[in-house]
Amino acid sequence: MANFEKELLALLATEPFVKIGRASTLRIAEVDAIIAVLVKIGIPFDLIYSPGTRRLAAAAELTIHINPTTRLTYTINFEAGGSLFTTVTT
């Protein structure tokens, strides 16, 4: 396994990433912690924020790029009432 893959697996086993997989909502401070770790390790990612409306809860979509054909995408809800989705795209 490549060194990058080992680092990525270790990253995904950290508390913030474990929590993103089992929580229905996250606080902004928790998302900040995830972003700080990604920046520190140098893993490319995209974050798209969508403010809440009367119909939709505030949410963000975090996409972590593993390689040119594989990425992890998390939909993070900041308010109750939505569901958290995690997808792996290859």
Q: Report the domain count for the chain.
A: 1
The dihedral of CA 12, 16, 19, 23: what is its sign? negative
| For the chain, percent of residues with pLDDT exceeding 70 | 77
pTM for the model: 0.72
Residue matched to tokens 């798209």? 48
Q: Give per-residue pLDDT as tens, 53-75.
A: 888 878 889 998 888 888 888 88
Query: Which range marks the domain in which residue 41 is found?
Result: 3-89
